[in-house]
Amino acid sequence: MRQVHHFIDGEHHQTPDARKHDIWNPSTGEVQAQVSLGDSALLDRAVATAKKVQGEWATTNPQKRARVMFAFKELIEANMQELAELLSSEHGKVVDDAKGDVQRGLEVIEYACGIPQVSKGEHTLGAGTGIDVYSMRQPIGIGAGITPFNFPAMIPMWMFGMAIAAGNAFILKPSERDPSVPVRLAELFMEAGAPKGLLQVVHGDKEMVDAILDHPDIAGVSFVGSSDIAHYVYRRGADNGKRVQAMGGAKNHGIVMPDADLDMVVNDLAGAAFGSAGERCMALPVVVPVGADTAERLKDKLIPAIEKLRIGVSNDPDAHYGPVVTPEHKARIEKWIDTAENEGSEVVVDGRGFSLQGHEKGFFVGPTLLDHVTTDMESYKEEIFGPVLQIVRADDFEHAVRLPSEHQYGNGVAIFTRNGHAAREFAARVDVGMVGINVPIPVPVSYHTFGGWKRSAFGDTNQYGTEGLKFWTKVKTVTQRWPDGASDLGGDGSNAFLIPTL
């Protein structure tokens, strides 16, 4: 059976006696590979390597660091098909979607190519008589990233793209469910000219995560995953004096105003609620029609659109979406549909018990539409992370603003309307981090920044863009005065040991 190894000091590092985790092929329902799970001794080895290379990398001028990013970008483009197929075979998302996963990560690498421009500091000439003040951004040293299964290319690149361009060494701990693409990215990064050991991949579960959080030489940890674990990572990392950003779960709402273009909404919802089998933190699993008439008109159009969705194996070019990631996740999603039904939701389209002919062992869940969902239901409060769309009916605009604002998660939200004033009011008032106006999945482009609010993110710095740069660097501010003549220090009548008044 294929084995996935750690990638340490530029080599595949085998640990035959280590604990192993099975990697499924979700389309066939068979185990296709195994990944070794690492421990603190293995992490020590990676950190020692990272320490050796980081100092020289930090003093490599930013233009040369950018050249490695440019070469990496070209290698990703050249290997796009291979990366997408590998990703799709372990995750279950269809190949085109997997290309999107790689592409959105690549866009952060493109942004990181501009590191000479974006990392320039600030300067004030003449802050006092003969006094200048300037600030510089210096790398934090060794950064680590702990990533979820659902974007095994994009999210690692969000993190290591910015961290490494800024002068850090990086240790990635990807999800043990689909770890092959992250290793392949590390190989390509070295091929692009990065020194051995600058980007390393260690695999593992909680044991490795705890080792990262406790390691005294890791200065910063970026985490993306579910909220309870994000909160835990945030607390334990911060307790150990690290900077930590920890992105969590989501339950994004799509508000449909009475004047919305319903054909556009239905088309957008088909992709945003069911694409990638709903396993996206920016999916739209809740739709909020405003007014009873809007709800009925929307439902009439939604049902046939949902029934037309084609579910297929992940390399079926005509499939809208593929299987979910593991058998446990399939069971969990179906259990949530049971719960929703028991809580009083109407199951309008039922995806439970779906089986794909010829692939009966695959982890497929049919598209599901639930109506009359209310805010007291557990199935509304929690993240389902599957191809399940819940309709929560709002009485009016004010009610529609309140629903996402009062939800425990605050990652993304969308409003569909033709009314600019309503959209503007909504964007200004809603208590959510990323807003789409007639855009169903408002993942910001790489030169803006990604981050949710409330239980969708712990810590105060977003992913990528200038926020990412801030996270992976520490600022140093220099206040300088150059007396006229080096030997005259203090000779102008002032006391050189006093803090000068600016």
Would you state the torsion angle of the CA atoms of residues 180, 186, 188, 192, taken in this order, to the nearest 10 degrees?
A: 170
Sequence-ordered list of residues with C-beta below 8 angstroms from that of 297, at least 6 positions apart, any chain: 262
Residue 80 CB, nearest approach to ligand NAD (Å)? 21
Q: Which of residues 255-284 bind ligand NAD (CB under 6 A)?
A: 281
The two tokens of residue 360 are: 């009966």
Give dist(CA 399, CA 70) in Å, integer. Answer: 48
User: In the set 249, 254, 285, 289, which binds ligand NAD (CB under 6 A)?
Assistant: 249
User: Which long-range contacts does 416-422 make (Cβ < 8 Å, 24+ apart)?
Assistant: 416/254, 416/255, 416/256, 416/257, 416/260, 416/261, 416/264, 416/265, 416/268, 417/255, 417/257, 417/259, 417/260, 418/257, 418/259, 418/260, 418/261, 419/257, 419/259, 422/257, 422/397
Residues 7-36, interacting with ligand NAD (CB under 6 A): none
The number of residues that bind ligand NAD (CB under 6 A) is 26
456 forms part of the interface with ligand NAD (CB under 6 A): yes
C-alpha 308/C-alpha 268 separation (Å) is 14
Rounded CA gap, 245 and 457, in Å? 7
Active site residue 281: yes
CB of 335 to ligand NAD, least distance (A): 16
Beta bridge partners of 414: 254, 436
* Selected binder of ligand NAD within 115, 169, 209, 269 (CB under 6 A): 209
Q: Is 38 in the site for ligand NAD (CB under 6 A)?
A: no
* Backbone φ, ψ for residue 438 (5° rounding): 60, 25
CA distance 478 to 497: 16
User: What would the x/- binding string for ligand NAD be over residues 373 to 412, using CB under 6 A?
Assistant: ----------x-x-------------------------x-
* 138 sits near ligand NAD (criterion: CB under 6 A): no
Q: Which is nearer to ligand NAD, 90 or 383 (CB)?
A: 383
Q: Which of 154, 163, 186, 281 is catalytic?
A: 281
Residues 6+ apart with CB under 8 A from 486: none
Q: Which stretch binds ligand NAD (CB under 6 A): 85-93, 171-179, 300-308, 396-404?
A: 171-179
Check residue 180 for interaction with ligand NAD (CB under 6 A): no
Q: Which of 159, 250, 392, 401 binds ligand NAD (CB under 6 A)?
A: 250
Quick one: CA torsion of 394, 395, 401, 405, rounded to 10 degrees? -60
- Told to check if 449 binds ligand NAD by CB under 6 A, we report no
| Complex with ligand NAD: residue 321 or 385, whichever CB lies closer | 385
Find the binder of ligand NAD among 90, 97, 101, 176 (CB under 6 A). 176
Check residue 145 for interaction with ligand NAD (CB under 6 A).
no
Query: Would you tell me which residues interact with ligand NAD (CB under 6 A)?
Result: 146-151, 173, 175-176, 205-206, 209, 224-226, 229, 247-250, 281, 383, 385, 411, 452, 456
Catalytic residues: 281
